[in-house]
Amino acid sequence: MSDSTVYLSEWMSLMRSGMSRPRTDTLQHCSPVTGSNRGIGFDLVKAFSADSNNIVIAGVRDPASATALQELSKTAKAKIHIANIDAADEEGNRAAAKEIEQTFGRVDVLWANAGGSP
Ligand X SMILES: NC(=O)c1ccc[n+]([C@@H]2O[C@H](COP(=O)([O-])OP(=O)(O)OC[C@H]3O[C@@H](n4cnc5c(N)ncnc54)[C@H](OP(=O)(O)O)[C@@H]3O)[C@@H](O)[C@H]2O)c1
Q: In the complex, which residues of this chain contact ligand X (CB under 6 A)?
A: 34-35, 37-41, 61, 86-88, 113-118
Nearer to ligand X, 54 or 111 (CB): 111
Q: What count of other Cβ atoms lies within 10 Å of the Cβ of residue 22?
A: 4
Give me the least distance between CB of 40 and ligand X, in Å please: 3
Q: What count of other Cβ atoms lies within 10 Å of the Cβ of residue 115?
A: 13
Give me the least distance between CB of 42 and ligand X, in Å please: 7
Nearer to ligand X, 46 or 105 (CB): 46
For residues 66-87, one letter each, b for 16 or more C-beta atoms within 10 angstroms of the residue's C-beta and e for the rest, the string is: beebeebbeebebebbbbebbb
Nearer to ligand X, 22 or 116 (CB): 116
